[in-house]
Chains A and B, each alone.
Chain A
Amino acid sequence: MSHGDSKVTVETENLRREFESKQGKIVALDGVSLRVKEGEIFGVLGPNGAGKTTMVRILSTLLLPTAGTARVMGYDVGKEPEKVRPLINSASGAERAGYDFISARGNLWFFSQLYGLPSEEAHRRINELSAMLGLENYLDRKFYALSTGYRQRVTIVRAFVNDPRVVFLDEPTIGLDVMTAISIREFLLSQAKNRGRTIILATHNMSEVDAICDKVAIIDKGKILACDTPSALKRSLGAPALVMEVSPPPPPERLEMLAKLEGVKGYTSTIDEERGISRVQVVVNSDDTAQTVLEATRKSEMNVLSSYRQQTTLEEVFVALVGRGFREREHEVAA
């Protein structure tokens, strides 16, 4: 779907948010500017602690920005929250918000009333949305009796029950089995494409972003590092990544020398303990650089069991921008 002529539904301008903590001031968002159009599924991709949830909370009027502006459907989220709230909804994968002794349907009806929906309209929407998510046979079960997957489906239905123009989703498929995650993604696609809703999807699940997002903003340490369609971002790397399987897994300081080679944009590594190998992904700007990396690795007496070139993923885009993968970045943040 082309969004070229669509109106802008969500925009931020130099959005900044600081928090006071015992360790001093923390900058969760640092001058974020973006524009999202009607009907887009807009991904905000980054590791834990990057600022994704902070941005979603500001846009859903739960948090005030420290500086900058944010507008949803043309209204300022800081100064006009009462105008924003009827037009939005949000859901988080971490939440299981509901009343245990009420049925799923009762819970959904209750939340619909917070938006002033007439009961008949509310039940119609609940039935329709539940059918799309395979929830219709579970609507009359009490909330506490539902499994994790079905509670999350209820959460997703709740986020759409008031026919919002903009929906904010924070890790909506986290912890769910593959089939449930797939059905939720298909649902989100249909809501955006067929109903013209704007969906902001904050996640660190790259395959999810790849699968359904029209555009993605890569965020790290509160800053937007890149913002484009997933395919454009992957094309920007220039060359497929080089993947090497090294045994035994080398210490991190030995891999550091790879980042210093000319043409290397960054690397990430994972250890397969069962096989006793390290899988090192190196993001390079050309085939020649890949060859250089391979030779340098062998010269440094690391035992390369195998090597191949891999179709670019969004993680490699992140690695190219930051120099490290999600895992390494999260460890840095935790330290």
Chain B
Amino acid sequence: MHGWMGKMLRVDLSTRSTKIEDIDEEILHLFLGGRGFGVYLVYTEVTPDIAPLDPENILAFCAGAMTGIGVPTGGRASMSTLSPLTGTIFDSNSGSQFGVRLKWAGYDALVVSGRADSPVWLEINTEGAQIHPADHLWGLEIPSAVEQLKARNSAVVSIGPAGENRVLFSSIADESGRSYGRGGVGAVMGSKNLKAILATGKPRSTIADQEITDFVNYEAGKMVKASPRTSQGLPEFGTSVLVNLMNWYGVLPTNNFQIGEFEQAENISGECLRDKYLTKRGACWGCPIGCKRVTRTKNEKGEGPEFETIYALGSSLGIDDFETIIEANYLCNRLGMDTISCGATIACAMELTQRGALASELAFGRAELLLDTIQDIACRKGLGDHLAEGSKRLSVRYGLPETSMQVKGLEFPGYDPRGMQGQGLLYATSNRGACHLRGNMLGPELLGAPKMLDRHAPSGKAGILIVLQHTSAVIDSIGMCKFVNFAIGDDFFARLMTSITGYEYQVQDLQLAGERIWNLERLFNLRMGFSREDDTLPPRFLNEPLKEGGSAGHIVHLDEMLAEYYRFRGWTEAGVPTPKKIAELGLKEIVKEQSHA
């Protein structure tokens, strides 16, 4: 076998048993690895009677065929599970070196199930897995826990206090904050009493055709250098380059999406970050782009923040104190929490307070309360305990569900869909909830990549979005980063997959694999009780036009786009994949038990 390792490691923490299993090569070929293989595992092993924090739920860390191979940005891996925040299938993708070391240890996947009776950490190496007591690590913030376990030729990921306390948007991260960030995957790990995982492995080559791979790599490198986005914008500013742009377009969420333009955007912009706080640039393993920021405030140093964090802990809270935003980001990283959901949930609490539904001191613009609030959430202290459940549950608890800016329970990233119709459709249809990483329309609607579309036009968006959704599933599955897609397209992915795995992949084969992955995720969600009713947006986006800024006067025309979307997908009007579609995608055997099919 080339590209993949053909092995996976299973750990059952309840019985403290571990075993190495062979993986059917045909499954890897069909699902590509990474997110695709994770979807397959969760679909086949997590049944509807299992709750996210039950011992029976699985955590599946999956590397892709490109992970650790040496292709540009090929340092990524996925973590799939049933999310406690959304109740959907969920995969979280990270550029942490953990995926690379897992692959080098000889495994395409690590699947953890069960629950240890006391805190443990896992050691992964070529021999298999060893389970060690972790009482001394429990309660530690992530950098401290990782520091204690770090070893030569290894990578460690850990949960922080938030994951231990089962905060529903807690994350799993390495010492620098590179996270499996969204969906509460940290709470799943915490529910298993698993504090940390260390993977040890040395580089190994599994490439089918090294010469062709080198050639395609060389050409890909040329394209990365030629694109100002990958050679200048992202390296120089990181993702924070988007703050001023989104503000100019009038889609920078402000005060919990009540406004699309933040007057003080300049104070929290990429330019400001570079000029005042940046100390060093960095990159994930194997990445020639290098969007990572190493920063310093008066009191601390650390990594980030990303654009999404700046929106969630900044403009969406009406806060322009960049020092506080940066330190809030460091704090979330140390405690192990997704900054987007954390900020969006605090924004929801601020609006609940603004509207008199919640008695709290929280208010838009009150930066001085931010750090304590984050700490309270991680420790589930006072109001923090309610916030730790995410914005959907919080808004319902206080009687104003419309104040929660989420889809399927997952809080929005930093692009108001009223200025981007296709993005609105993306949010509504994403299998893991409101997410920009499932076929981002930012490229075609705002940046002109690959071509500039009319951002306010709903017509024709469904087809384009579907292609992007498939491409994003492919990138997540093969183990590369979506940013490389600014420079190289599907044809490069196909050529690399061919030269690395030895299977003949054409662009259409990869699109089909992406569609297969998307449909299996959809089928899982349907099995869990989701339906067309969940493919929607908060009423604010459907009924309340933005009053000012670059997207003033617009709402999302979802119904029109959604009908077109289902038709394009070959689903029924209820949003269910038809038996014909399931057969076309080669999923018949896998989903044979499911009544929806």
A and B: interacting chains: no
